[in-house]
Amino acid sequence: MGKLLAVGSMAFDAIETPFGKTDKILGGAAPYIGLAASQFDIEIAIVSVVGEDFPKNYLSLLESKNIDTSAIEIVKGGKTFFWSGKYHNDLNSRDTIETQLNVLGDFNPVVPEDYKDADVVMLGNLHPGTQLSVIDQMAKKPQLIILDTMNFWMDNTWDELIQVISKVDVITINDEEARQLTKEYSLVKAAKKINEMGPKFVVIKKGEHGALLFHGDNVFFAPALPLEEVFDPTGAGDTFAGGFAGYIATTKDISFENMKNAVIYGSNLASFCVEKFGTERVENLSKSEIHQRLLQFKELTQFEIELT
Amino acid sequence: MGKLLAVGSMAFDAIETPFGKTDKILGGAAPYIGLAASQFDIEIAIVSVVGEDFPKNYLSLLESKNIDTSAIEIVKGGKTFFWSGKYHNDLNSRDTIETQLNVLGDFNPVVPEDYKDADVVMLGNLHPGTQLSVIDQMAKKPQLIILDTMNFWMDNTWDELIQVISKVDVITINDEEARQLTKEYSLVKAAKKINEMGPKFVVIKKGEHGALLFHGDNVFFAPALPLEEVFDPTGAGDTFAGGFAGYIATTKDISFENMKNAVIYGSNLASFCVEKFGTERVENLSKSEIHQRLLQFKELTQFEIELT
| Structural domains present in chain A | 3-301 (3.40.1190.20)
DSSP letter, residue B224: P
Q: Assign B308 a pLDDT band (cuts: 50, 70, 90).
A: low
> What is the value of ipTM here, to two decimals?
0.92
Contacting residues of B for A220, CB less than 8 Å apart: 299-301, 303
Q: Which residues contact B292 (CB under 8 A, 6 or more apart)?
A: none
- Best of A194, A256, A300 to substitute, by most chain B Cβ atoms within 10 angstroms, is A300
Gap between the Cα atoms of A39 and A19, Å rounded: 28
Contacting residues of A for B187, CB less than 8 Å apart: 226
Render A25-76 in DSSP notation, one character per residue. Answer: EEESHHHHHHHHHTTSSSEEEEEEEEETTS-HHHHHHHHHTTEE-TTEEEET
Contacting residues of A for B212, CB less than 8 Å apart: 226
Q: Do B189 and A264 touch (CB under 8 A)?
A: no
Q: Is B20 left (phi over 0), alpha (psi -120 to 50) or beta?
A: left
- Strand ranges for B76-217 from DSSP E: 81-87, 94-100, 120-123, 144-148, 170-174, 201-205, 211-215
Q: Do A228 and B189 touch (CB under 8 A)?
A: yes
CA atoms within 13 A on the CB side of B10: 30
Per-residue pLDDT of B107-147, as tens digits, reads: 999 999 999 999 999 999 999 999 999 999 999 999 999 99
Say whether B72 sits in a helix, a strand or coil: strand
Of A229, A298, A300, the CB nearest to B219: A300
**CB of B126 closer than 8 Å to CB of B134:** no
Per-residue pLDDT of B178-202, as tens digits, reads: 999 999 999 999 999 999 999 999 9
Residue A90 pLDDT:
78
- The whole-angstrom distance between A77's CA and the closest CA on chain B is 45
Four-point Cα dihedral A191, A192, A197, A203, nearest 10: 30
- The whole-angstrom distance between B92's CA and the closest CA on chain A is 12
Residue in chain A nearest B292 by alpha carbon: A307
The mean per-residue pLDDT over the stretch B282-291 comes to 96
Per-residue pLDDT of B71-89, as tens digits, reads: 999 999 999 999 999 999 8
**CB of B111 closer than 8 Å to CB of B71:** yes
Nearest CA-CA partner of B118 in B305, B285, B246, B278 = B246
Gap between the Cα atoms of B192 and B215, Å rounded: 8
- The whole-angstrom distance between B301's CA and the closest CA on chain A is 6
Contacting residues of B for A90, CB less than 8 Å apart: 185
Residue A308 pLDDT:
56
Of B220, B228, B265, the CB nearest to A189: B228
Neighbouring-strand partners of residue B217: none
Residue A91 pLDDT:
82
Pairing between strand A43-51 and A3-7? parallel
Residue B225 pLDDT:
96
Give the long-range contacts of residues B289-293, CB within 8 A, separation 24 or more.
B290/B39, B291/A307, B293/B225, B293/B268
Say whether A274 sits in a helix, a strand or coil: coil
- The whole-angstrom distance between B75's CA and the closest CA on chain A is 41
Q: Assign B93 a pLDDT band (cuts: 50, 70, 90).
A: confident
Q: Average pLDDT of chain B? A: 96
Contacting residues of B for A188, CB less than 8 Å apart: 226-228
Number of other residues whose CB lies within 10 A of the CB of residue B92: 12
Contacting residues of A for B89, CB less than 8 Å apart: 185
Helix (H) or strand (E) run with residue A95 in it:
strand A94-100
Contacting residues of B for A209, CB less than 8 Å apart: 206, 209-210
- Best of B221, B247, B288 to substitute, by most chain A Cβ atoms within 10 angstroms, is B221
Gap between the Cα atoms of B287 and B87, Å rounded: 30
- Strand ranges for chain B from DSSP E: 3-7, 11-17, 20-21, 25-27, 43-51, 67-68, 72-75, 81-87, 94-100, 120-123, 144-148, 170-174, 201-205, 211-215, 218-222
Per-residue pLDDT of B168-180, as tens digits, reads: 999 999 999 999 9
Four-point Cα dihedral A91, B260, B136, B141, nearest 10: -140
Q: What is the mean pLDDT of each run of 10 residues along chain A (308 residues)?
A: 97 94 96 98 98 98 98 98 92 90 97 98 98 98 98 97 98 96 96 98 95 97 94 96 98 97 98 96 96 96 81
Per-residue pLDDT of B22-36, as tens digits, reads: 999 999 999 999 999
- Best of B228, B301, B306 to substitute, by most chain A Cβ atoms within 10 angstroms, is B301
Contacting residues of A for B243, CB less than 8 Å apart: none
- The whole-angstrom distance between A107's CA and the closest CA on chain B is 38
Residue B257 pLDDT:
96
Which residues of A sit within 8 Å Cβ distance of B? 89-91, 185-189, 206, 209-210, 212, 218-221, 223, 226-230, 257, 260-261, 264-265, 291, 294-295, 298-305, 307
- Best of A90, A227, A259, A301 to substitute, by most chain B Cβ atoms within 10 angstroms, is A301
Of B91, B227, B307, the CB nearest to A294: B307
- The whole-angstrom distance between A88's CA and the closest CA on chain B is 12
Gap between the Cα atoms of A221 and A196, Å rounded: 21
Helix (H) or strand (E) run with residue A238 in it:
helix A236-251
Residue A211 pLDDT:
97
Of B185, B223, B228, the CB nearest to A223: B223
- Best of B208, B214, B267, B300 to substitute, by most chain A Cβ atoms within 10 angstroms, is B300
Contacting residues of B for A221, CB less than 8 Å apart: 210, 223, 226, 300-301
Gap between the Cα atoms of A14 and A258, Å rounded: 36
Q: Which amino acid is at A127?
A: H
Of B89, B186, B223, the CB nearest to A228: B186
Q: Do A186 and B229 touch (CB under 8 A)?
A: yes
Contacting residues of B for A189, CB less than 8 Å apart: 228
Gap between the Cα atoms of B306 and A110, Å rounded: 36
Per-residue pLDDT of B214-260, as tens digits, reads: 999 999 999 999 999 889 999 999 999 999 999 999 999 999 999 99
Say whether B20 sits in a helix, a strand or coil: strand
Per-residue pLDDT of A43-80, as tens digits, reads: 999 999 999 999 999 999 999 999 999 999 999 999 99
Q: Do A299 and B206 touch (CB under 8 A)?
A: no
